[in-house]
Copies of this chain bind each other. A is one copy, B any other.
Amino acid sequence: MKTQDKREEIISIGTELIIINGYNATGIDAVLKKAGMPKGSFYHYFGSKEAFGLAVIDSFADHYEVKLRSFFNDEELPPLRRIRNYLENGLECLAENQCTKGCLIGNLGQELADQNERFRARLEMIFREWKQQVATCLEEAQQKGDWISDADPGVIADFILSGWEGAILRAKVMRSPESLQNFINTLFATVLSVE
C-alpha cells in the first residue's frame, strides 16, 4: 500500500470510529488495530492524536463539500428543489443507518467546542461554509423568482442549518427519522413556501 493510501485508510477507519464513539473515546490503538498497522505508522503520518482528529475533520469536510456542490449546483433543477433533494437524501442516508451516527461535524461540535479551541475553530469554519452554500442557493431562488421572499438568505440558511442539525440529533435520540421528515415538510410548507 502506498504512503498516501495508508494515511487515508487510517483516516477512513478513524472517521468511522469517531462518528460512533466520539473523539475522546476513540483510541489510536483501536484505529491501528482495525487498520492492521503497527503503532509507529501512526506517528509517521500524524504528529499527535489532535493532528489526526483535525485530519479526520478535514477529510470529511472535503468529501462533504463535493456532495453539497453536487446538490446545490445542479442547474437542471430550481434552487429550492435542490435544497429539498439534499435534505431528502440526508433523511434516506440516516434512515439506512437506523438513525445512528448522526453528523460527524455536529457530534464533534457538541463534544469538543468547549474543550479544544483548535477543533472548535475548524468546526466553526465548516459550519460557515455550509451556511454559505445554502445561502447562495436561496439567493439564486430569489433572483429566479423560484422563491418570492425578501428574507435575508444568510439568516434563513442559518435557520435551516440549525434545524437540520437539531433534527439529526433528535432522530438519533428517538431512533426514528420522524423529526427529519417533520423538519422538511414544515420548512417547505412555511419558511420556504412558494404559495
Q: How far, in angstroms, from A109 to B179 measured CA to CA in the complex?
A: 14
Number of residues of chain A lying within 8 A (CB) of chain B: 48
Contact status of A166 and B174, CB under 8 A, knowing A106-B110, A111-B111, A155-B182: no
Count of chain copies = 2
B107 engages A110 (CB within 8 Å)? yes
A165 at interface by CB-CB < 8 Å: yes
Contact across chains for A158 and B179 when beta carbons are under 8 A apart? yes
* Shortest Cβ gap from A94 to chain B (Å): 12
Q: Which residues of B contact A151 (CB under 8 A)?
A: 186, 189
Contact with B along A144-185 (1 / 0, CB 8 A): 000000010001101101111111011011110011001101
A191 sits at the interface (CB 8 A): yes
